[in-house]
């Protein structure tokens, strides 16, 4: 399958959910993975155990993606220590679901700060090493709702649509430096984020999925590993949809 030997991959929101599986699969493909997260390190340790079981290598980088200065310093230190930074997966995300009339300024700002601001400033921190090496991969974790909309997800859908605009812009800005920038658009994936939904909402979602099943984090990870590989070097500015046909 696709190999990422000797690459260094940073995964934000890498301790649990989709991010945890991304870390394991990127490491299984040969990358050394650095997982950035705000959760307590013992949660990250569970991901590290999975990585070790897969024969890979990874480390934890406890940091909040909204703390731009800390992210800049941490990525700089990482690059100095490891000598490269090949892959960035902007996966950290939050959802504060409310119908429009209940969206508070705080909910909107926090959602945009993590989902969009985090991706912007982690990309900014990673782009110099990538440009210098004349190769790199940035993947932004968007969502099917960026393209379809979803009642009750005004702030979240707006943030994910913004990520697609960011993806296309960075793809154009850094193509000449050999850096590709793509988005992955998961549909309804089985994680803590979606397990919290009421049963009737889940059933409604299922009815909209032509392939007739909820997606698994592994479905998303397979797409990410491919986009990070040399085989995907001619793909940039795209949204790779991993949604069971929910949106075509």
Using CB under 6 A as the criterion, which residues of the chain lie in contact with ligand NAD when the complex forms? 12-13, 15-19, 36-39, 64-66, 91-94, 114, 118, 141, 143, 186, 188-189, 191-194
Among 46, 61, 172, CA closest to 122: 61
CB of 204 to ligand NAD, least distance (A): 14
CB of 121 to ligand NAD, least distance (A): 11
CB of 45 to ligand NAD, least distance (A): 13
Identify whether 156 is a catalytic site residue: yes
* 178, two tokens: 């050999």
* 157, two tokens: 């859908």
| Residue 3 backbone dihedrals phi, psi, to 5 degrees | -110, 145
Instruction: Give Cβ neighbours of residue 62 (< 8 Å, ≥ 6 apart).
Output: 36, 37, 38, 41, 44
Helices (H) and strands (E) in the chain, counts: 10, 7
CB of 143 to ligand NAD, least distance (A): 4
Half-sphere exposure of 67 (CA within 13 A, CB side): 11
Residue placing its CB nearer to ligand NAD in the complex, 61 or 130 = 61
Residue placing its CB nearer to ligand NAD in the complex, 3 or 110 = 110
Residue placing its CB nearer to ligand NAD in the complex, 5 or 192 = 192
Q: Alpha carbon of 123 to those of 117, 131, 154, 171, 180: distances in Å?
A: 10, 11, 25, 11, 12
CB of 177 to ligand NAD, least distance (A): 25
CA pair distance 169, 188, nearest whole angstrom: 26
CA pair distance 16, 34, nearest whole angstrom: 13
Residue placing its CB nearer to ligand NAD in the complex, 127 or 145 = 145
Residue placing its CB nearer to ligand NAD in the complex, 8 or 183 = 183
Of residues 15, 79, 156, 174, which has the active-site annotation? Answer: 156
Is 126:138 a contact under the CB 8 Å cutoff?
yes
Tell me which residues are annotated as active site: 156
């Amino acid at each position: 399958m696709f190999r990422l030997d000797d690459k260094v991959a940073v995964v934000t929101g890498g301790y649990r959910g989709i991010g945890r599986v991304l870390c394991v699969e990127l490491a299984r493909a040969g990358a050394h993975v650095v997982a950035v997260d705000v959760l307590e390190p013992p949660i990250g340790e569970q991901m590290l155990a999975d990585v070790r079981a897969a024969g890979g290598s990874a480390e934890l980088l406890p940091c909040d993606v909204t703390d731009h200065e800390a992210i800049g310093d941490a990525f700089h230190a990482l690059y100095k220590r490891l000598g490269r930074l090949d892959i960035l997966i902007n996966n950290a995300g939050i959802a504060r679901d409310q119908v429009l009339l209940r969206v508070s300024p705080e909910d909107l700002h926090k959602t945009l700060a993590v989902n969009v601001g985090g991706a912007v400033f982690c990309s900014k921190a990673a782009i110099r090493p990538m440009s210098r090496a004349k190769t790199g991969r940035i993947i932004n974790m968007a969502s099917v709702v960026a393209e379809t909309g979803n009642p009750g997800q005004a702030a979240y859908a707006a943030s994910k649509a913004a990520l697609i605009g960011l993806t296309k812009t960075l793809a154009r800005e850094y193509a000449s430096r050999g850096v590709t920038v793509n988005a992955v658009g998961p549909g309804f994936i089985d994680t803590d984020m979606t397990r919290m939904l009421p049963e009737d909402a889940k059933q409604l979602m299922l009815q909209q999925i032509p392939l007739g099943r909820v997606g698994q984090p592994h479905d998303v990870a397979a797409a990410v590993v491919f986009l990070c590989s040399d085989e995907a070097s001619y793909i940039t500015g795209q949204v790779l949809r991993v949604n069971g046909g929910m949106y075509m």
